[in-house]
Structure 1
Amino acid sequence: MVNKVQLGKSELFVNPIGLGANAVGGHNLYPNLDEEVGKDLVRTAIENGMNFIDTAFSYGPERSEELIAEVLKESGKRNEVIIGTKIAQKFMDGKKMIDNSPAFLRNEVEKSLKRLQTEYIDLLYIHYPDETTPKDEAIGALKQLKDAGKIRAIGVSNFSPEQLKEANKDGYVDVVQGEYNLLSRSAESSYFPYTIENNIAFIPYFPLASGLLTGKYTTESTFNDLRKGLPYFQEQVFSKNLEKVEQIRNIANQKGVDVAHIVLAWYLKQEAVTAVIPGAKNSEQVLNNLKTLDVQLTNDEILVIDELFRA
């Protein structure tokens, strides 16, 4: 039996290992996706107690929500699953723009409800901040939707610490999603003190640093996609990062698990981190991610990993 965790002040309780669903219908993010494989991995997640599914308007666009809706409908388990989705983007004249205005957010929630074939969204994030809308006004619009029963919890993603504080002026923000991993730890000083003090759940994205923290790369690995622009893949630090990952492998081998399991388990030991949402491309990866729940890290191991990635 999985011990579920509460998302901030909300009434939502989730498996701390969730599903990042950008490879479910995210045709604009990954080439040659098979939608049936995507639906099957959502089925596998639900059937194995992974009740927290993270998607967004921008995955597809729109298609991820639609495929998840199909699986939820056939499963008959809508009330058992916590759906987190994100809005803020719009396309005008072929250009992507960001809009946090209350009218836009209200309209986009209605569209998302239709795509998800549901009467309510469990967790609704503003995916990106715009440059003009006061953030407390944007969140105020979501609070009205929450009061109307259309959403159950309010989140923000990619907000700066200052924007988060403005958004949470009235205490309505339940969840923050932001970049955090062992190679990118600035959130520990910029976000965690505030989120802990205000009982806001923090959910990391890029928890495995685009695969670098899985232990699957070597010094011979080359990258011709978005990874080549990420700071931890740059030539001068890439080999050093791999050396650190190999030291985690020693702990993983002792426990008979993968490097990724150790990394994800370490995050869940951080006070500010409520849940993690690693992505998956197939059902096997979903089941593999769930093995994290079986990992027991000692205090010494937690400290060793902490110090290793502070160097």
Structure 2
Amino acid sequence: MNKQEWKQDSRYGMSHPHKDVVDVEHYRFDNVKMGFGIIAIATFLAMFWFVWNNGDMNLNKVKVWGYELSHFDRLTRDFGYVGYGYLWGEHPSWQHTYQQRCLVDNWYGCTSETTPWEFTQMMFARGWDKLVLILYVILLVTVYQFAYFFLRKPAPVRFNRALGAIYTWRRGQLWILPERNFDFTFKTEIDIASYRSDSGPMRIKLCRASNPNKTRSFSLGSYRNQLAYYGEYFGRDLRRFMTSVDGVDFTSVPLRHSYLWWQWSIFGKRDLPDDIDQRAADWIKQQSIEIPPPGDKAEWEAREVRKAQQAAEEEEAEEARQSALSAARRLFRKRQ
């Protein structure tokens, strides 16, 4: 199967490291990573053009008090409120402001003996709000420039039919779901980047092992798929895998997920802990959940259905008995 055919396969986004284990990628990571990559490139280009480009290509120059100001001078003007241009660094506008407007014209409450440090204190009191704004902009630009390099590929979600559980590791916490509670949802999404509106992820909810009442939704699959209604077929394949030994053909599914060059991060990708299977098994045991052998799952599920039907019948019989007793009591009171 070539790469193009594989992207149109419903199993795309799975890896099969063991006959009873399937690891699944997170759908959102790829488009978020690519989005931050595009933003990083655009931000670096914008910085070069508007900040560092002072050559012949930069024609947008203005004159203030006879001094020619470049893009860089104009963009860094607000740093004059903390001494830029007269206490440290060089800025023609602020040098003129201090030497002429302050020392000679005595503006801003200056005298001819006002030092650069004293003038800095005066300017900071006048323009601290502008500094807050520019620091916020710098922080925002820095985040957009470098977020791509720190965004790590998340650990996969593991479907383990031998254990009868679905689980993953996120922010130091085990998130897990017994196979008997396995259900998924699918909804098509409009994706402007790929010009598609007929695909989307498979969504599943896992509970936090330390607090089963706390749940979190996970969007699973590969964003790079090219199959219509991908999430629906993807979820069906995983359901067949969890409920039967030979329900899905995994001959063409890779043993592990690829780690592409554009998915690279400074701290590397996240992996499942080495003992996560044991942690999941301990949680299943703690919850007193019966783990059926994979080959006997059909019989086990039928037995579970019979148990549920029997419990429902017993509950219905109890309600009928209570109703009869209530009717008898009412009749007895009327006769009295």
TM-score of the two chains, using structure 2 as the length reference? 0.19
Greater gyration radius = 2
- Higher normalized contact order (CA 8 Å, seq sep 6+, divided by chain length): 2
TM-score of the two chains, using structure 1 as the length reference? 0.20
